[in-house]
Amino acid sequence: MKSMTEEQAKLVGRTFRHFKGNLYRLEGFAKDSETLEEMVVYRALYGEGGLWVRPAKMFFETVERDGRTTKRFEPTEDAK
């Protein structure tokens, strides 16, 4: 398996705001064992701090809400 790209490495540890408002920390990237689809591993920065996984394509896509197009997860201004 090839290693993480430089661009991906820069995102690990960054905080992202979901379009519904909650904050998450991107923990890393993984591959689905069956499909080899690239996944994003991220942690909720609220509640119990659950660990989640979502296809990278979906994590970085744009969504439409209330007639406005926005990123599903928007990076915050944190340095890390």
What is the token pair recorded at 6? 């430089």
pLDDT tens per residue, range 15-72:
999 999 999 999 999 999 999 999 999 999 999 999 999 999 999 999 998 899 999 9
pLDDT tens per residue, range 2-22:
567 899 999 999 999 999 999
Q: What is the pTM of this model?
A: 0.86
Q: Render 22-59 in DSSP notation, one character per residue.
A: -EEEEEEEEE-TTT--EEEEEEESSTT--EEEEEHHHH
- The answer to whether 39 touches 55, Cβ cutoff 8 Å, is yes
Query: Shortest CA distance to 46 belongs to which of 22, 65, 62?
Result: 22
Task: Please identify, in words, the CATH class of the domain defined by 6-72.
Answer: mainly beta
Q: Which residues pair with 21 in a beta bridge?
A: none
Beta strands at 51-55 and 15-18: parallel, antiparallel or unpaired = unpaired
- Name the helix (H) or strand (E) containing 71: strand 68-71
